[in-house]
């Protein structure tokens, strides 16, 4: 069912800016699309220019169509919900769960699960009843994800992720088990990253002008006979960033067949218990353990921490035991 929004201007200004300030539940970008599609009138006349200059005392009306049904369909999949309110939901994603449907993964994804779980609380991202994915984790990476339920939350969270924590609002930390021991307690990897020319499924460090800046800060937490545990803090959020960066400095992640295949022989240096725990992993030994951000509505800073899942906890215990 469509709804109608009405407001009267008190001063001159752009149409899209006026609407975004009057009705904060809907993003300015969404209003721009509504204007372009002919859903906005000024003094009874349809206006399709988002930059249309308003005069004081003018009546503006917006017809907001009902959000289109979600695609794909919802599926009843169990979720580990850390926090939820009317604007967003924080999930502790298990390893093995794909975030978004795609080729070869049309069903059984986190998005399918969220559509079923959230139901009518999804007011529509860009006019479609769907969860707003503002960041992702690889299929085999576990840990914390925040998802928006409406345009306002989606816009607010997207702005924070775009700043990559440089303005102090966003906080993201990962625990990673790596091969070998770094020669110092902490460091920063600062490179360009882009798709590998040899294998488009992989990312690679690159100095080309098309590469995107990637910065990972790491700290050594624990060292074992053949491996180490590091805590990584992201200053950027590129695809496979931690996996590529740790491999770049000679310490790929345990269980990472894509970027650590050259370290397969290192398994022989592990204890039998550690080798068994590693064999049970579904992929790379990487967990998104801390997620912090400012709530897009209240402005309150929220911070969540997720402990290692069972498989990584077992690996951790076996490595510590030697």
Q: Which residues are catalytic?
A: 138
Dist. CA 184–CA 177, nearest whole Å:
16
Dist. CA 233–CA 176, nearest whole Å:
11
Dist. CA 120–CA 265, nearest whole Å:
52
Identify the bridge partners of residue 109 per DSSP, sorted by sequence position: none
| Most distant pair of Cα atoms in the chain: their distance | 78
Question: Using an 8 Å Cβ cutoff, are 35 and 76 in contact?
Answer: no
- What is the DSSP track for 136-196? ---TT-EEEEEEESBHHHHHHHHHHHHHTTTTSS-EEEEEEEEES--SSSEEEEEEEEEE-
Length of the chain as a residue count = 322
Helices (H), 11-73: 15-22, 28-36
């Amino acid at each position: 069912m469509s709804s109608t929004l009405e407001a009267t201007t008190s001063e001159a200004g752009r149409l899209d800016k006026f609407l975004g300030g009057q009705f904060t539940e809907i993003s300015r970008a969404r209003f721009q699309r509504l204007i372009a599609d002919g859903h906005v009138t000024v003094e009874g006349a349809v206006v399709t220019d988002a930059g249309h200059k308003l005069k004081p005392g003018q009546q503006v009306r917006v017809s907001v169509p009902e959000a289109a049904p979600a695609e794909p369909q919802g599926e009843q999949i169990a979720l580990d919900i850390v926090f939820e309110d009317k604007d967003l939901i924080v999930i502790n994603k298990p390893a093995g769960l794909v975030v978004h449907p795609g080729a070869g993964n049309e069903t059984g994804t986190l998005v399918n699960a969220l559509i079923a779980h959230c139901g009518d609380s999804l007011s529509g991202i860009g006019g479609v009843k769907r969860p707003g994915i503002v960041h992702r984790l690889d299929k085999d990476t576990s840990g914390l994800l925040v998802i928006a339920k409406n345009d306002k939350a989606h816009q607010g969270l997207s702005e924070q992720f775009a700043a990559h924590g440089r303005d102090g609002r966003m906080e993201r930390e990962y625990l990673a088990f790596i091969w070998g021991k770094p020669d110092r307690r902490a460091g920063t990897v600062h490179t360009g990253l882009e798709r590998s020319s040899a294998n488009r499924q992989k990312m690679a460090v690159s100095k080309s002008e098309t590469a995107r800046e990637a910065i990972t800060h790491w700290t050594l937490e624990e060292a074992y006979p053949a491996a180490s545990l590091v805590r990584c803090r992201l200053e950027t959020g590129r695809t496979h960033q931690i996996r590529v960066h740790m491999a770049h400095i000679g310490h790929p992640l345990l269980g990472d067949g894509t970027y650590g295949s050259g370290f397969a022989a290192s398994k022989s240096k592990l204890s039998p218990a550690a080798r068994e725990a590693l064999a049970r992993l579904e992929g790379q030994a990487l967990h998104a353990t801390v997620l912090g951000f400012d709530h897009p509505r209240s402005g309150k800073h929220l911070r969540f921490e997720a402990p290692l899942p069972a498989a990584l906890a077992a690996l951790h215990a076996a490595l510590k035991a030697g």
